[in-house]
Amino acid sequence: MEKTESIRERLVDVYLDTIEKKERWTRRAVEEGESLSKFVQHCVEYTIENGGPDFSELGERSKLIQDLDEELKSPRKEVK
């Protein structure tokens, strides 16, 4: 089976939290001279090969960051 024939089997959709995150990933991919798809693949593979994050710990930190970010929305608007 050629790559073009197996594309649907290899497709992974990823929905990011924000447009800004996608833009950041895209900028970083361009800086690395890669497509966004290749950049994400390399990041995921690197993480897996290095033992990966502790997802339970990561989830707790992510929730804390999201909560703090939400708290800062109003003060950010005031500063602007």
Q: What is the Cα–Cα distance from 46 to 72, expressed in whole angstroms?
A: 32
- Residue of 57, 37, 61, 41 whose CA lies nearest to 49: 41
Please, which residues have CB within 8 angstroms of residue 73's CB and are 6 or more apart in sequence?
A: none
- 32-78 pLDDT, tens per residue? 999 999 999 999 999 888 887 766 666 777 778 888 888 998 888 88
Q: Where are the beta strands (DSSP E) in the chain?
A: none
Domain boundaries in the chain? 1-49, 54-80
Whole-model pTM over 0.75: no
- Residue of 53, 35, 42, 41 whose CA lies nearest to 12: 41
DSSP H or E stretch at residue 28: helix 19-31
